[in-house]
Every structure is written in C-alpha cells, then in structure tokens.
Homo-oligomer: A and B are copies of this chain.
Amino acid sequence: MKTARNTIAKTKIQELIILSPIALSHSEIHKYLEGLCDRVTIYRVLDRLLEEGVIHKIVDVDGVIKYAGCHSCSTEHSHNHIHFSCQKCMSVTCLENVEPSFKLPKNYKVSEMNFTLSGLCPQCS
C-alpha cells in the first residue's frame, strides 16, 4: 500500500495555505516559498493536498485557480459557500457562512459548485 510522506515542501505549502486569510494561486505560493522547492513540486503537492481534503480549489472570476484551507470542512467536506474576489487587492476570501439558494430545472445532477462574486472587499471599499 502507498503511504503518504511528510516532506518539507508539503509541510510548508500546507502551512502557507492554511494560515493565509485569502486563497493563494500557484504563482503566489511559488513566490512565498522563495525557491524552497521546484515549481513542479508545488503542482504535485497541491494535487496531493486536494486529494487528502486538506485544501480546496477555487476558480476566481478571471479563471485563475487558487487554493484555500478547509476550515469549516472538518466534519463534512462541503464547499457550497460563496467566494469573494476583490478587484482591487486581488484577494480571494471564503464567505463560509453564506449559502446561496436557487431553483434548478429538472434532470440536472449537481456534484460541485463554484460561486464567486467580485467587487470590493471591506478593506478596499
């Protein structure tokens, strides 16, 4: 069987994402790590963290993929909340407590959601 290993790269990346108040992109993580590991390693670590359910993936309004820690997902892994993408400071925040509601036509089977609003965050407005 395969056993996951805790490497410096993985630990650092996980820490970075979990501690960050906003969602981070691959390139942002790359900058913060300052050459601690290869660009490719970051991609692979992110994939593993996603599989493990430690972090989740958010697509911002421009199609940039960002990663955020799963805070409220400890009991159940649900990401049906809204993300807010600030157009000024480019930060992406999870609005964990906001659950949107809507009526869907028949025969659509939903397995994932991605709700992103953009505009100005409290700090920038």
Interfacial residues, chain A to chain B (CB-CB below 8 A) = 59-65, 82, 84, 87, 95, 98-122, 125
Contacts and interface: CB of A to CB of B under 8 A. Distances in A.
A105 B114 contact: no
Contacts of A109: 119-120, 125
Contacts of A104: 82, 95, 98, 117
Nearest to A95: B105
A117 B122 contact: no
Given A100-B115, A108-B121, A119-B110, A63 B61 contact: no
B108 A120 contact: yes
B101 A108 contact: no
30 contacts: A59-B59, A59-B60, A59-B63, A59-B116, A61-B112, A61-B114, A63-B63, A63-B64, A63-B65, A82-B104, A87-B111, A98-B105, A99-B102, A100-B101, A100-B102, A101-B101, A104-B117, A107-B121, A107-B122, A108-B120, A108-B125, A109-B120, A110-B117, A110-B118, A111-B118, A112-B119, A113-B115, A113-B117, A113-B118, A114-B118
